[in-house]
Amino acid sequence: MKSPNTSIYREAPALMTDLYQLTMAHGYWKKGLHQKKAVFNLFFRNIPFKGGYAVAGGLEQALAYLQDFRFSDSDLCYMSDFRGNDERPIFDPAFLDFLSKERFSCDVAAIPEGTVVFANEPLLRVSGSVLQAQLVETALLNIINFQTLVATKAARICDAAQGDPVMEFGFRRAQGLDGAVSASRAAYIGGCIGTSNVYAGKIYNIPVLGTHAHSWVQAYNDELQAFREFADSMPNNTVFLVDTYHTPQGIDNAITVAQEMLKKGYKMTGLRLDSGDLAYLSRLARQKLESAGLGFMKIVASNDLDEHLIASLKQQQAAIDIWGIGTKLVTAYDQPALGGVYKLAAMENDMGDFEDRIKLSEQSIKINIPGIQQVRRFYKNNKLACDMIFDERDRLPELPLLIDPADPTRRKSVANCNSRYEDLLQPVLQKGQLVYDLPELNSIRQRRAQQLEQLDAGIRRLTNPHLYPVGLEAQLYNKRMDLILNYRQKFQVQ
């Protein structure tokens, strides 16, 4: 079974990588290390948007990329022209021949999309030949980072909307065609009800939404005529955009046409506000609609909205029924990158056993966690209680102790949690073959909704959220500290 490849690219994008991945792969091959097994973990260090959680996204596209991974003849021909400072090829022809036969055959475990996740937890773990695991780093980070970021932003926006429908229509502001398509998918996972992006709607089966823009009104000499003509041409899909010239007059014109169409047996969907004082104008529009017997019509608002503006408008009792979000969602405007990383955590030695690997840094946050990691989530009273990162090779005590890697004084015993738990990392590929039932997109949305419902409200809040307990199991924490101290002594790091 194979994951559907919904990429907009015509070729399997093996060259969608950084050059240093290829030069390292060449080095592993040259030194006879390329078949050595390694374990890499993909994780992020800080929760985005200064929030309390993130929502995992991008796994389906990551699996499609891995299963299609191969170097085409044109790829290898292109690489053969790379020259070093002596103007000679940097890649051995035999290495390029070796790459021509390579197919991804590593094991991959991943946290399902739609899962609420936190800093330092491996979202994805790749185990297999160090050469292959290294080559896929860049693309995996690109896919997982972006969709996780946008899914998280969408979840925050939908939280702020307090159950009101949220539409995503940021296609024209997205970072490229591929970014727009990925953003539409991730926004739908995060809770948006649909997208303006027709192509994303087609390939992901996302509801598509939209009616007309300002240019339709401008195409006529009179706004009232423009509304009449559009309603007549599409009476079952009309939301009047009322702010082209003067919003109060636009509202009145929309009401006039809606009443005319009602007599013909058609109910207009609503009107949209795209500028001005949205709190005041939405209340004005609602009052006028109710007085005209058109209370069924919805008020849609847009205009560079995000979760904070929505929360403010809610506080001002704006009469907005549906929220349209573009730029600040699809570009993750206030934090345009997740900052996820992909780090070597274990390497096979000459005896065939895995040895832990760690990277030191003067910044403690950049010192990675070693080992073959798993994330165990504990529940209490059907709520998320705490997450434990542990090494699968360790025998766990009956009541494990969690230690915050950033602050060892923050500790939590799972004795305080219910015994119910789940291990989040699930096998998705074995030797490169899909062993995971890919969920439908609506199932991923449902998982996100359920996970957020089980998350404490203090962690979900937009500003100064509570810190969800995530810690290393004590054995893994001690192993990491021993490695840090040993490496510092070995390399005389102060």
Q: Which of 337, 311, 288, 336 is nearest to 166 (CA)?
A: 311
Residue 73's region, left for phi above 0, alpha for psi from -120 to 50, else beta, is: alpha
Integer Cα distance of 277 and 435 in angstroms: 52
Q: CATH assignment of 151-330?
A: 3.20.20.70
pLDDT score at 494: 55
pTM for this entry: 0.95
Q: What is the structure's pLDDT at 33?
A: 93
pLDDT at 362: 78
Q: In what order do the strands lie in the sheet with 341-348?
A: 354-356, 341-348, 37-43, 124-129, 107-110, 426-430, 433-434
CATH homologous superfamily, domain 19-150+337-490: nicotinate phosphoribosyltransferase (3.20.140.10)
Retrieve residue 32's tokens.
Answer: 């006879």
Q: What is the pLDDT along the chain (494 residues), one digit of tens a residue?
A: 444 445 555 565 789 999 999 999 999 999 999 999 999 999 999 999 999 999 999 999 999 999 999 999 999 999 999 999 999 999 999 999 999 999 999 999 999 999 999 999 999 999 999 999 999 999 999 999 999 999 999 999 999 999 999 999 999 999 999 999 999 999 999 999 999 999 999 999 999 999 999 999 999 999 999 999 999 999 999 999 999 999 999 999 999 999 999 999 999 999 999 999 999 999 999 999 999 999 999 999 999 999 999 999 999 999 999 999 999 999 999 999 999 999 999 999 989 899 999 888 878 888 899 999 999 999 998 999 999 999 999 999 988 999 999 899 999 988 766 668 999 999 999 999 999 999 999 999 999 999 999 999 999 999 999 999 999 999 999 999 999 898 888 777 55
CATH 3.20.20.70 residue ranges for the chain: 151-330
Which part of the chain is CATH 3.20.140.10? 19-150+337-490
Q: What's the start-to-end Cα distance of the chain, in Å?
A: 52
Q: In the numeric block, which tokens belong to residue 305?
A: 């909205």
What phi, psi does 320 have (nearest 5°)?
A: -105, 130
Residue 484 to residue 493: CA distance in whole angstroms: 10
pLDDT at 4: 46
C-beta atoms surrounding 266 within 10 Å: 16
d(CA 130, CA 348): 9
